[in-house]
Amino acid sequence: MKILIVEDEIALQESINSYLKVEGYNCESALTFNEGQEKICMYPYDCLLIDVNLPDGNGLDLIKLAKSQNVTAGIIVISARETIDDRITGLNFGADDYIVKPFHLSELNARIYSLLRRIHFKGEDQIVFNEIEVNATERLVMINNSPLDLTKKEYDLLLYFLSNKNRVLTKESICEYLWGDHADNAGTLDFVYTHIKNLRKKMIDKGGQNYIHTMYGVGYKFTTK
């Protein structure tokens, strides 16, 4: 799962980034309103952590931007202000949750997990699609009741497909989802094909169906059709 942290306090941003990466998230950061705006418009995310007070703008305007761009990411507001009016304002702008500084990173992690589970998997820890079962808490994948050994990228790729069933995903969107900023440095998208080929083979070897269909000249679709 991919998270964007828009926070100008460098120490806090780095702490959040380090903690969430250990928890298995793919994290990117932005120190300013303009940097956050650019990334929200360019890359797909599962969750946006947005500080209200940024040096060059108001984080609430980033929420409005995300909503105007039809961004489907969950949004958690980070703020030093604890008044009811501030909370209501953030939620009315389209945020899903609101956390006040200072906070424990474990609490933030719990809120992110709860939000992503609610958005992508209807609040369930267990994701079931035909013979595929995913335990999101333990990051465990089973096919036909047999464990599937996946790399982190393969696991993230499978969740990306499961979250976007029956939608065509371009190689570029998959690359941006898995690598974020580093996607721009890739000279070729062949590694996307490699990860998809490996994931497909592992699933089929366990007796799973071939759900990953190549849409030639466009990308890939995860579907039973």
What pLDDT, in 10s, does the model give residues 156-200?
A: 899 889 888 888 888 888 887 777 655 555 556 778 888 999 999
pLDDT digits (tens, 9 = 90+) for 76-104: 999 887 677 777 887 888 888 989 888 89
**Residues 6 or more apart in contact with residue 74 via CB below 8 angstroms:** 46, 47, 48, 96, 97, 112, 115, 116, 118, 119
The DSSP line for 1-23 is -EEEEE-S-HHHHHHHHHHHHHT
- Distance between CA 169 and CA 222 in Å, rounded? 9
pLDDT digits (tens, 9 = 90+) for 16-58: 999 998 887 889 999 999 999 999 988 888 899 999 989 999 9
pLDDT digits (tens, 9 = 90+) for 94-131: 888 989 888 899 899 888 888 887 776 665 667 888 99
pLDDT of residue 187: 53
**Does the structure show a pLDDT above 80 at 203?**
yes
Domains present along the chain, CATH in parentheses = 2-120 (3.40.50.2300), 126-222 (1.10.10.10)
User: Which of 62-66, 86-90, 151-155 comes out lowest in average pLDDT?
Assistant: 86-90
User: Which of 51-55, 177-181, 205-209, 220-224 comes out lowest in average pLDDT?
Assistant: 177-181
Helices 59-68 & 84-92 angle (0-180, nearest 10): 20
Tell me the C-alpha to C-alpha distance, in Å, between residue 209 and each of 35, 72, 183.
Answer: 41, 28, 29
Tell me the C-alpha to C-alpha distance, in Å, between residue 34 and each of 76, 121, 145, 199.
Answer: 18, 32, 47, 36
pLDDT of residue 181: 59
Report residue 1's pLDDT band, with 50, 70 and 90 as the boundaries: confident
